[in-house]
Structure 1
Amino acid sequence: MRITLIAIAMLSYSLPAAASCHAEPLAKDGACPSGFFTSGAYCVPSTGARRAIKRLNSCPSGFFSSGNYCVASTSNEAIAIPKVGGSCPSGWYTSGKYCLRQP
C-alpha cells in the first residue's frame, strides 16, 4: 500500500512537466491562433494543436506569428515564457522578449 501511494504521488508531480509540452488554453486577444477555437474569453486548443503564447512584438525562435499570438513550429519543442527584466532564469536562454527552454 505504501509503495502504491508513493508511486501515485510521484506520478502527480511529474504530470505538470509533461503537460507543459502540449497546447493549453489562452486568454483571448482578438482572433484565436491557428489550431485554437473560441470558448468564452479563451482560445482553446483543438486536438493536435501546437503550443501558443501571447505575441510581444515579434515571435521567439521556432515560433510563427498567428494574429496576436506566436505558435510553435512543427519541429519546435521549446517552451517559451515572456522575459522579465534583463535576463532569463537559470537553464533558459533569451530569444527576443522571451526566454526559451528545451523540455
Structure 2
Amino acid sequence: MNWQSPPAMRKALLVAAGMLLSASTVLAQQPVQPLPKVGSCPLGYYSSGGYCVPSSGGNTRGAIEKSGAGCPLGFYSSGNYCLSSPSNEREAIQKSGKGCPLGWYSSGGYCVKSR
C-alpha cells in the first residue's frame, strides 16, 4: 500500500476540511448581486439604470428589498433595503404567502434559511 506520512496526511485533511467549511459558509450568505432600484440604493451599492449594483470595494454586504417596516433576523435597514450584518451567515428571501419553504423559517415578512 502507498500510505502518506502522518504529517502530510494531517495537512491534506486540514486543507480539505478548510475548503469544505469555507464553501458552506459562502453558500449560506446573502448573495451580493444587483437589485431592482427602489428609492436610493443601500450602503455599498450604486445606481446603474434601474438597478442598485454592488460596489467593487469588496466590503459590500448582500441585500434584499425591505418588505414592511422591519428586516429579518441578521439584517439591518438601509433605506428601502435590508443589508446582511457582517456576522450574518444566513440567506433571506421575501415571504410569499403565509409559510416558508422546507429548510427555511419565518422572520417577519421574510423566510430565512436554516443552518
TM-score > 0.5 by shorter chain: yes
Report the counterpart of residue 83 of structure 1 in structure 2: 95
How many residue pairs get aligned? The number is: 88
Report the counterpart of residue 60 of structure 2 in structure 1: 49
Q: Distance in 2 between matches of 1:72 and 1:21?
A: 7
Taking a change above 3 Å as real, the CA distance of residues 20 and 32 of structure 1, as seen in their structure-2 partners, is same
Taking a change above 3 Å as real, the CA distance of residues 89 and 19 of structure 1, as seen in their structure-2 partners, is closer
1:25 aligns with 2:44: no
Code of the residue aligned with 1:39 in structure 2: it is S
Preserved CA contact (<8 Å) 2:92 2:112: yes
Q: Normalized against structure 2, the TM-score is what?
A: 0.69
Query: Which structure is larger by alpha-carbon Rg, 1 or 2?
Result: 2
Code of the residue aligned with 1:25 in structure 2: it is P
Residue ranges of structure 1 left out of the alignment (5+ in a row) = 1-16
Taking a change above 3 Å as real, the CA distance of residues 84 and 22 of structure 1, as seen in their structure-2 partners, is closer
Match of 2:81 among 58, 61, 69: 69
Q: Normalized against structure 1, the TM-score is what?
A: 0.77
Taking a change above 3 Å as real, the CA distance of residues 66 and 19 of structure 1, as seen in their structure-2 partners, is same
Q: Distance in 1 between matches of 2:30 and 2:91?
A: 7
Report the counterpart of residue 10 of structure 1 in structure 2: none
| Pairwise CA RMSD | 2.1
Preserved CA contact (<8 Å) 1:50 1:73: yes
Give secondary structure in 1 for the equivalent of 2:87: coil
Q: Could you tell me the percent identity over the aligned residues?
A: 52
Code of the residue aligned with 2:87 in structure 1: it is S
Taking a change above 3 Å as real, the CA distance of residues 62 and 39 of structure 1, as seen in their structure-2 partners, is same
Q: Distance in 2 between matches of 1:29 and 1:84?
A: 19
